[in-house]
Every structure is written in C-alpha cells, then in structure tokens.
Structure 1
Amino acid sequence: MPIKQIHSIPAHVDRIWNLAPHPRLPLLAAATSDKSAQIYSLNTYFPVAQLDGNHKRSIRSVSWKPSSGLKSEAVLATASFDGSVGIWIRDSDQHSPNFGSTGESGNVGLEEWEFVAALEGHENEVKCVDWSCEGTYLASCSRDKSVWIWEADEDNEEFECLAVLQDHTQDVKHVAWHPNEDLLASASYDDTIRLWREDDDDWVCSGEIIGHRSTVWCIDFDKTTTKGKARLVSCSADETVRVWSRESMTGNTATRDIPSTFRSDPISENWQQEAILPQRHSGPIYAVSWSGQSGRIVSVGADGLLVVYQEVKTGEWTVIAEEEDAHSVFEINTAVWSKKWKSTSPHREEGDTEKDESKKGEEEIIITGGDDGNINIWEVTFQK
C-alpha cells in the first residue's frame, strides 16, 4: 500500500523536536531547537506565527489546549530544555478565517501572540507537555524524574501546581492524557509506563506497565475506543511498538466491582500487553501516534523509517505502508496524524463545509519532523 510525500516545509536550519496539529483549527505547531515554536497554516503550509524570545533553550514539546479560555480559541503550551513551560495566547482580534492564506506577493503577515505565563519548578529539562481532554489540567515531565500537574484559571494566565509525581526512577520522556478521562500516562527512561489519577484531591499512581526492555520514548492513547475502555500504544529504544489494554479497574471507576490483580489500593488499574506490532525498525523508535480517525498507528525513529500499521483484528496488526529515509539520512523525531484541510484534500468540492469534510473517513495525513529541520506531509492510499 503506497505512501506518498505530498509536501515538505523547510521549516528550520536545525531539528524539529515535536509537532502538534490543533484539534479544531487548521494550525500546526512545531517545537524546534532554535528556542522558538513556529505555527503553520494547514491550509497553505505557510507560517502564521513565530513564538520566541521567552525560552532560553530548545523547545522540546508543544500542546494545544482543546477547550479555549475567555481570551482566545488558540492557547499553546511549550516545554523547554530551560526547565520551564510557557503559555501563549493568540489575541482573538487577530483571528483570520483564512489561516495563512497569501496575497499576490505570496507573503504572509505573522500574527502576534502573547506570552502570558511561565510555569517554573522543574529542576531540569522539560521533555513533554500535554493538556487533558477538557483542558482542565496541564501535565509536564522532566529529566528531573518528575511529572507535574497544573491547573489554570479561566484566562490561562495563573496556574496552580496540583501535584508533583515522583514515582519514576529515571528521566521522564513523555506524558499523554486519555481522550475522554482525566487519566494521565507517563513514559520513562526507567523502561516503564505509569498511569495517574486523582483520588480525594491527591494524584496517585493507579497502574504501572512493565514490558519494554529499554527507554520508553513515546506513548499515545487509542482515541477510537468507547467510554470506559482504554488502550495505549508505546514505542521504545528496544525497537518495538506495543499495544496495551486496560483489563480491570477498582476504586473510583465505573467497574469498581471488578477486582484488580494489580494492587489493593482504592484506585487501581490492571493493564496487559495486547500486541507487539510487526518489527520493522532497526534503531530506537522515538514517536508513535494513534489516529482518532482511521484507528491506524504510525511510528518513526532513529533509522529514518516511517511505518504505518493497521489492526486486522483485536491484538493482530499488519504493516500497510512504510517509507525508508523519510527525511533523507536524518533521524525522525516526531510523527502525528492530522485531518486534511483545504490544500491537502483533493476531494474537497466547492460548497463543502469543514463539517462535511470531517465526515470523510479517510481524509487524513501524516506529518513528520526530523533532524533536517523539515516538516514533511504524507498521504497513504488506503484500500477500500
């Protein structure tokens, strides 16, 4: 099944660490090693904003708030190697319905964004940041072995640290929230994944996933599961991609009558390995992303290989597309799924609305970023 590069954005002279498409708008945020975050239009692929001047070292991760505050519908969190998390807001007066459309000259006027908050407290590099499903909480993780959970006021300008979680024994590489529960997962250099929940105003470790034989670089929840269900994909320096499923829960859950074999605490989750995906990579796998649209998984890593997997039946996956040297000779640090917007949807017809377009089940793209500083856009030709 072929995969085709349909566009490349020569975004930076140095590496792209992380990419995040906005959940509702045609915007793409990129975290870079030049101390800035760039925002691009997914209608035109042109830049619409550059966020810089506030972080002193590389920006490692970016995350869009899924629900907006009073000031703007676009709120972005940035995590930096300088040990801080930044909060940026676009002034609603600067909203343009075209999101980066160009005039005759082809130039784009960059929007002004406001840096409204700096969240400090981590003792070392912040590796990842992620908003919870309703935008109530923001999680950050660091080389200092900790995970922090923050809560924002309605203007996203004042943040309170609700918890500092220190169960990991090594560098925490990644955090990800469940798509419809206030359940947080964290991945670490200690080879484990931990699950976190709130319990009587305290955040506790509700589960631990052990199975990888080396650093767990990235995790992502299955966004297609029904409420109460949960699956997670992880990738590791052990060159494997694995899928895990929640088998039981006890405590403050909908299935508290189901006994847990994990532990006897009031809140507990038992997770089991459901599958090891077909092995294709020959080096550390840095990123995985689980599509909320098609249910497919993509992985990328140090070997420059891009791999797309499809589930045949529960627990059984097959490779449907792969691309060698997807960023030439360079390592690939990030891969994400995104819906297609105007310029990337050949089937969009005149009069189609965004709502119409969102119903087209296979209208999605893969976006990757690597050490070459490029952002590449990919399309997979799926079988009917």
Structure 2
Amino acid sequence: MTSIEEEGLQLKELQTLTGHTDRVWGLAWNPVTGTAGHPSMLASCGGDKTVRIWQQQQQTPNSTSFHSLEVLEEIHTRTVRSCVWSPSGEKLATASFDATTAILEQNGNGFECVSTLEGHENEVKSVSWNASGSLLATCSRDKCVWIWEVLPGNEFDCVSVLQGHTQDVKMVQWHPTVDVLFSCSYDNTIKVWAEDGDSDDWRCVQTLNESNCGHSSTVWAISFNATGEKMVTCSDDLTIKVWGVDIARLQSGDTNASWEGIIATGAADDAICLFIESEDHSVDGPKYKLLLKKEKAHDMDINAVRWSPTENRLLASASDDGTIKIWKLDSIA
C-alpha cells in the first residue's frame, strides 16, 4: 500500500468564496451534511459583524462548488470571532466581541437567532459544544471560561464560571468523547477542566505550560483527532505541539489548527502547512514532519483552517483578505 507521503500530493484550490467585507475569523463545517444526499454546509464569521452560511451546489453528486445560502447581518453588533455547529447540526453558536454568544437555528430555508447568552464582561473569543450537545463553553478577554447547560426550549443556564487563566482566553475546546474541557490563553498555558463528581463543581485538573513541555508564548488554538487520543496545539512561539491524551485518566477527572489525520495549520505568513506522523519514532514517542507547504495560500494572514468531517481531503481556510478558500488535497497528475 502506498503511504500518503509517497502519493505525490498537491493542495489544489477549488473555489474562492467572497462576500465578507472585512477579515474572516471563523469557519465551521456542519457535521451532519455532506453525506446521504445532503449537500455540505459551511458557516463563516468575521469582522464585518456577519455570519454567512454556504452550501454545496446540488447540480451534480460530486460537485465541490459552494454558493451563499444566507447572510445574517443583525445577530451581533461587533466582530464575530467564532462559530461552531452543534453535534446534531441543528444549531449554530456564534461568539462576538459584543460580549454575547448567539444561538442560531434553521427555520425552513433560513436561520433565526433563538437565544442570546450574556454575562461575559467583554469580547467573547470562542465557543464550543460538548459531544452530546448538552453543554456549551465560552471564553473571553475577561480571562474567564463559562459552562452553560442546554435546557429545553432553547434555554441556557450558566452552571460554572471558571477562573484560572491570568490573561485573555483564546479558545475553548471540548474533548470529543468525554466531558472534559480544554482552554488556551494569552498567558501561554493550556488548562484542563473536569467536573468534580462529588460536588458537581468544575475545577482545573491540569495546567500545561513551558515547565511541562508546553508553549512559551500565547497558545492560539487546540484541536483533537477523531478518537480524542491526540491533541494538537499551536502557539505564537511558532511551534505546533502534539500531545498524547490519556482518555481513561480524563474520565477519572485527573487530567489555528485542524486535524483529520493530517494536521493543517495557517498563520501570518499567508501559508497553509500540512503535517503528518513520520515513520521514524523516538523514545519520546511519534515524530511529525512537513508533508507540504502552500505558499501564499491567501493574500493576508490566515485565521482558520478546517478539514471537512465528511468529504475526503477537503479543506477550508479563512483570511484577513476577506475570503474563504476551498481546497482539495489531491494527487499530482
């Protein structure tokens, strides 16, 4: 069997999506589209205060052409920094610099805001659903992480305010199989939060920092592989770190990247880099190497890269240049 690094691969641009009038900050693929005759759906958000929904054209079964399905212009009053679909694909959560998080729901052919979450003192930077869709996490420039319980009737109840970071919290990310939350911050740390089974309170059970092989500068993003056994983090220290995650330990409560088998990263050098696990391992564990680098993938900083969860080797990227690009990792002809 030919290994992926022997295939002779290229990152081929399929389409440039335009419409945002300011930088594009966030991207999210709807996890239940792209299969069984349902066209893929992609959400984007940005500095123009809008949330945009893009849908794959349906003319041909294998079409990779996307069109604008809807533009949501009055959900937030400031930059929309993050967007993420619920596991069921029925709701979209958006986090904004206006200090609110909005919950959007599809209603017929359109989307409507069904709930607005308030409480953070200032900019909300990131939002994340847990695997079951029963909990939502948000984080902010106010250094806090909030955990919300999802109730019937589109109601949300804040069940915990987590204080432990000393500077802006850049991203929150739930583990894909267990209810353990990870957060990363301008304070150079990654914190792991778990619920105390005795008191139902949430607490920090581990802090990853420079002293335990962590980052030496701002940690921008966190992503997991599908099983949750590995985590990748990227930082302002210009490094990407891959962590082994002990799921059994997480279950006992002790402990701008995207990853779908190949780690994709985007940065201020306007390039997209793809990394894979090397066949050469050391005593410290697996090693990773650069598979390819797409120079000048965008005209300005790249803020997000996201692999499609359903379409083989399809990647979306978002940039300060106001565009979204759809890429295909394909063999060189």
Alignment TM-score, normalising by the size of structure 2: 0.86
Matched residue type, 2:272: L
Which residue identity does 1:40 align to in structure 2? Answer: W
Which residue is 1:138 aligned to?
Answer: 136
Distance 2:174 2:241 in 1: 18
Q: Which residue of 2 aligns with 1:64?
A: 85
- 1:326 partner SS: coil
SS at 1:14 equivalent:
coil
State the partner residue of 1:336. 306
- 2:254 aligns with one of 248, 254, 268: 268
Aligned pairs for 1:99-114 within 5 A: 111-114=109-112
Q: Which residue of 1 aligns with 2:62?
A: none
Residue identity matched to 2:176: P
Q: Does 1:23 align with 2:31?
A: yes
In structure 2, how many angstroms separate the alpha carbons of the residues matched to 1:122 and 1:55?
15
One of 226, 231, 242 as aligned partner of 1:223 = 226
Residue matched to 1:209: 208
Q: Is 1:83 equivalent to 2:91 in the alignment?
A: no
Is the alpha carbon distance of 1:240 and 1:89 closer, same or farther for their aligned partners in structure 2, counting shifts above 3 Å? same
Deviation at 1:206, TM superposition (A): 1.5
- Mapped to 2, the partners of 1:82 and 1:60 lie a distance apart of 10
Native 8 Å contact 1:11 1:375 kept in 2: no
Report if the CA contact (8 A) 2:180-2:250 is conserved.
Answer: no
Shift of 1:36: 1.1
Write out the 4+ residue segments of structure 1 that deviate beyond 6 Å after TM superposition.
none
Note if 1:169 corresponds to 2:166.
yes
What's the offset of the Cα at 1:373?
0.8
Structure 1 partner of 2:282: none
Deviation digits for residues 166-217 of structure 1, max 9, x if unmatched? 1111100001111111111100000000111111311111211112110000
CA 1:186 to 1:35, structure 2 compared with 1: closer, same or farther past 3 Å? Answer: same
Q: CA offsets per residue over residues 244-283 of structure 1, 9 Å max, x none?
A: 1135865852xxxxxxxxxxxxx322xxxxxxxxxxxxxx
Query: 1:81–1:127: 8 Å Cα contact kept in structure 2?
Result: yes
- Cα-to-partner distance string for 1:36-67 (whole Å, 9 max, x where unaligned): 10000034411112222131101000010103
| Alignment partner of 1:308 is 2:274 | yes
Residues 306 and 324, structure 1, Cα contact 8 Å, conserved in 2: yes
Q: What do residues 118-138 of structure 1 show as CA deviations (whole Å, max 9, x unaligned)?
A: 100000100000111110100
RMSD: 1.7
Aligned-pair identity in percent equals 41
**Residues 191 and 208, structure 2, Cα contact 8 Å, conserved in 1:** yes
Paired residue total: 300
1:339 Cα deviation from its structure 2 partner: 4.6
Match of 2:61 in 1: none
What is the DSSP-based 3-state SS (H/G/I as helix, E as strand, rest coil) of the residue aligned with 2:308? strand
Distance 1:168 1:61 in 2: 20
The gaps in structure 2 that reach 5 residues or longer are 1-8, 34-39, 58-64, 280-284
1:31 Cα shift? 1.0
CA distance in 1, matches of 2:239, 2:157: 37
Q: Deviations over 1:98-129 (max 9, x none)?
A: xxxxxxxxxxxxx3222111100000100000
> Residue 289 in 1 paired to residue 258 in 2?
yes
Paired residue type of 2:231: L
Point out where structure 1 has 5 or more consecutive residues left out of the alignment.
68-72, 95-110, 254-266, 270-286, 342-362
